[in-house]
Chain A
Amino acid sequence: MRKIMLATTAAVLLAMAASASAQEKVFRYSTTGDILGLDPHNNNEGPTNTMKSNIFGRLIHRTGDLSLEPDLATEWTAKSDTVWEFKLRPDVTFHNGNPFTADDVVYSFKRQTQEASDMAFALSSVKDVRKVDDLTIEIETDGPDPTLLLNMPNFYIVDQEFMEENDAFEVVKGAGFQNFANTHPNGTGPYKLVEWVQDNRVVVEPFEQHWDYANRESNIDRAVFTPIGNDATRVAAILSGEIDLMYPVPLQDIARLEADPNVDVLQGPELRTIFLGFDQWRDELMDMPGSGKNPFKDQKVREAFAHAIDTKAIQRVVMRGASTPTGLMIAPGINGFPEEMNIPYEYDPEKSKQLLEEAGYADGFPVTLDCPNDRYVNDEAICTAIVPMLERIGIKVNLNAQTKSLHFNKIGAAENNNTSFYMLGWTPGSYDAYNVLQNIMTMDGEGHGAWNSGRYSNPDVERLTDEIAVTIDEDERNDLIRQAFKIHYDEVGHLPLHQQALAWGVRNDTVESVVQRPFNDVDLREVVMK
C-alpha cells in the first residue's frame, strides 16, 4: 500500500512539473453548477448564456462595462419608429466553415421565437426579421421599442444550413426527443467547443477563423470550465492552483483567500436586487384566517415593515460587508437607474410601531415569511435576521425557508402565489428598467406580473409602464421610469433589501487580467493569462 502511495505521489509531482513547463496557456475556471445546454435558444440561465456567447455570435455584443459593441452587425440605423436596419459583417464563417449570411439571421429569429424557447423573451417585441440582401436585414417591431438594441446580445445566431441538415429546428426541452443542438453548437463566436462532459467539464478553444481573431484581446489557448458544487472543494481547488479562477467565493472564505499571496479576491456589485414582497391582493391574510383583514393592503403597514428592517445591519453582520443596501428595485448599471432616488428606507423601529398603531395593528399580527435557502447569497440567514427585527415591532414572523424548487413553486403562478410575505431576487434580462416594471411591478396586460407574487398593482405605475415600453426618447423615457419608481417607492410596493456583492477568487500567478462583469460570469474574450 505504502509503495503505491509513494509511486502515486511521485507520478503526480512529475505530472505537475510537466504541466508547468508546457507553454500552452490553459485557463481553468469553476463555478457551482454546470451549464444547462448549448442549444442557444433553449435555456435562459446566467452561466449557460455566457458559455453560449463564447461560442455563438450575436448581432451586438455586450462588453464587461455593459456597453454595446458590434459583433455580427457592423452598423445599425433606425429607419422609422418600428423598423431598424442592420448591416451584417462580411466574410464571417461558422465553426463548421459555412458562411454567415442574412438567411441565418432570419432563420435564427424563427427558431428563437418558437414557444418552447426560453430566449423568446428577448425578441418578444419583434414582429418580423427580413432579408434585404445577403448582408443587410431589417427588424420590424410591433410598436416603437426602445429596448430592442439592449436585447440584441440575447439574440443568438445559428447556421441555417447546419441546423436544417440535422433537422434541429425545434427547441426540445426535457420530454420527447433529444435535442441535437444542445450538444452540437455551431456558431460564429470566438471559441469553439472541444468537448462537453456533463457535470464534469466544458472545453473550448479559440476559433482561428473568427472574424476578429487577429485583434483578440485574450491569449488563452484553451479554456476548461469545471463545475464544483461544494464550496470548500472549490476554495481548495483554487488554493492548490488546480484552477485559475472560481466564483462565488463563500463570504466566510474571502479573508482566507486574500491571505494567500497567489490569490486575489475581486469584489464588485451584482445587478441582482434582493427584495421582499407583500401579498396585496387577498382580502384576508393567510395567517389571519377569520379576521377578514389583510394588513398589507394598508400602506402604513408596509411602511412600518420598511422602517423596521435594518438593511445596514444585514450588510454588516449577515453579508460581512459584501452587499449594497438599496431602496430601488434595480441596481446601478441597469438602463434607466435613477441614482438620486436610491435611498434605502431609514431604520426607525419607533416610527414603525407608531405606523402600526395608526393602522390599527398596535399589537402586531402573525405572518409567514417565505424564503429560499439555496438560491441567493446567505438567503436564509437574511430572513433569519429579519425575524427578530420584525418581532421588535410586534410582528410574529413564522419563517418558512426551503429549497428553491419548492420556494419558487409556492410563491409563483404554479400555486397561485401561495404566499403572504416572501423573498425574491431579480436581474432584468435586458438590463433595462422596463423588464422589472413588467415582471415584478405591474399586473395588467399579457406577460405582465409573472413574478409579481404579491400582486402589487397601481394603475399609475401600470400606465407609466405602458408608456415606457414605447417611448424612444431617452430623457423622456428616463423621466417616466423615475415617476414610476417614485410611486412604487413611496407606497412601498415591494421592499428592496440590497444588491449582493460578487466575489471571485483569481490566481494572480497565472492570470494577468480578467474582467468581472456585474452579471457574475466570465467572458473568455477578456481573459489574459501570464
Chain B
Amino acid sequence: MLAFIIQRLAQSILVMLVVGLISFSLFQFVGDPVNNMVGQEATIEQREALREKLGLNDPIPVRFIKWVGLAVQGDFGLSYRMGMPVADLIAQRLPATLELVALSAVMALAIGVPMGVYTGLHRHAWLSKVFLTVSLIGISIPTFLIGILMILFFGVWLGWLPTFGRRGLVDLGGWETSFLTLEGWSYIIMPAFTLALFQLTLIMRLVRAEMLEVLRTDFIKFARARGLKSRSINFGHALKNTLVPVITIMGLQIGSLLAFSIITETVFQWPGMGLLIIQGIQFVDIPIMSSYLVLIALFFVVINLIVDLLYYAVDPRLRVERTAGGAH
C-alpha cells in the first residue's frame, strides 16, 4: 500500500512538470504583462527595462527551467500584480477555496445521496417528481446565473444574507475559517450552495439510477425473501453497492468544484484561489498562473489517490484480490 502511494506521488511530479511546461508555452498567447504593470505615461525605455528585468525576453524553455529551478527550492516568485510572494498569496487564499469546496462537497453528498435514495425507492411519489424537476434546473442553469439569482433573492429582496465577500473569520494559527461564527456561515452558505447545486443534482441522479439497478438484482430479492428489514436492505445493502461509482464521480467532481469555484468566487467576490487566478489571467500575472495550474494538477493527483484508497475501504473484493496477488 505504501509503495503504491509513493509511486503515485512520484507520478504526480511528472504530471506537474508537464502541466508547468504546457502552461508556460501557453502564456505567450495571453499578452504582455508589462503594459499592465506600468502606467500609461511610462516611456518605451522604462517598459523595455522592466521586460528585461522580468526575464520576458528570454526564450520560453529558458524561462521554464529558471522557474522550475526556483520552484523546487520553494520560491515561486513574486506576483507581478501585487508584488508579494506567490507562495504567501496562495497560502492566504487557499483556506477560502478549500472551505468553500469542502462545504459544497458535503452539501452535495448530504443532500444529494438521501434525495437519490428517496427518488430511487419511491419512484412515483410526487416528492420524487419535484426533486427530479428541481434537479433538472440545477443541472441546466449555469453556475453564475444561479449565483446571481440567489444573490437577488436572498441578498437583495429578502435581505437575509450578505451578497458578497467573506467575513466573520476566526484565525486558527494561519488558517482563517468561516465555520466558527454565524457571520462566517452567513457569508459562505450562498456561494457553497451555488457551487454544490450542480454536483448535488448529479449525485442525486446517479444514486437514483444506481439504486434502481441494484434494487432489481438477485441479492436484494434474496435479502427480501430472507425477511430482512427494508431499512437494512435499502441502506445496508443497496446503497452500499451504489457507492463505488458515486465515490469515483465525487472524486472527479471535487476537482471540478475547484475549477468551477473560479466562477462562483467571481460572482460572490469570494477571496479564494479562483479570484486570484482570474485576476492573474486578466493581468497576465505569469508567476501566479503557473503556480496555480501546477497546484491544481497536484490537487487532482491527490484526489485521485484518495479515491483509489477509498475503493479499498468500500469494496472488500479489491482487498482480497490484492492480498491474493501478493501471495504468489
Contacts and interface: CB of A to CB of B under 8 A. Distances in A.
A118 B32 contact: no
Interface bracket on A: 35 or more
A116 B49 CA distance: 8
Nearest to B111: A1
Interface string A192-208: 00000111110000000
A229 B83 contact: no
Contacts of A237: 155, 163-164
Nearest to B189: A8
A240 B78 contact: no
Interface string B166-203: 10000000000000001101100100000000000000
Contact of B275 (A199, A414, A429, A439): A199
Contacts of B7: none
Contacts of B162: 12, 240, 242
Contacts of A408: 32, 35
B85 interface: yes
Given A7-B182, A175-B55, A405 B32 contact: yes
A167 to B, nearest CB: 16
A414 B83 contact: no
A198 B82 contact: yes
A36 B36 CA distance: 10
The residue among B36, B41, B152 with the most chain A CB atoms within 10 A of its own CB is B41
Given A199-B276, A226-B165, A233-B151, A409 B31 contact: yes
Nearest to B32: A409
A36 B271 contact: no
Contacts of B227: none
Interface in A1-32: 1, 4-5, 7-9, 11-13, 15-16
B42 interface: yes
Nearest to A154: B41
A7 B189 CA distance: 12
Interface in A61-98: none
Interface residues of B, number: 66
B50 interface: yes
Contacts of B269: 226-230, 233
B39 interface: yes
Interface in A444-490: 447, 450-451
B40 A200 contact: no
B248 to A, nearest CB: 25
A409 B35 CA distance: 7
Contacts of A197: 271
The residue among B47, B163, B185, B186 with the most chain A CB atoms within 10 A of its own CB is B163
B83 A405 contact: no
A289 interface: no
Interface in A143-198: 172-176, 178-179, 182-183, 197-198
Given A11-B185, A405-B33, A37 B267 contact: no
B306 interface: no
Contacts of A116: 46, 49-50
B307 to A, nearest CB: 26
A37 B283 contact: no
Contact of B151 (A227, A232, A374): A232
A200 B36 CA distance: 20
Contacts of A242: 155, 162-164
The residue among B43, B85, B111 with the most chain A CB atoms within 10 A of its own CB is B43
A198 B152 contact: no
B282 interface: yes
A176 B80 CA distance: 10
A173 B55 CA distance: 13
Given A5-B189, A405-B30, A408-B35, A233 B40 contact: no
B98 interface: no
B258 interface: no
B78 A176 contact: yes
Give 4 closest A-B pairs by Cβ, nearest first. A44-B39, A405-B31, A11-B182, A121-B41
Given A37-B83, A406-B31, 19 more contacts: A9-B161, A11-B182, A37-B82, A44-B41, A44-B42, A119-B39, A121-B39, A121-B42, A174-B83, A176-B53, A178-B78, A178-B84, A201-B165, A237-B155, A239-B156, A240-B156, A404-B36, A405-B30, A408-B35
7 contacts: A229-B275, A242-B162, A404-B35, A408-B32, A409-B31, A412-B35, A435-B41
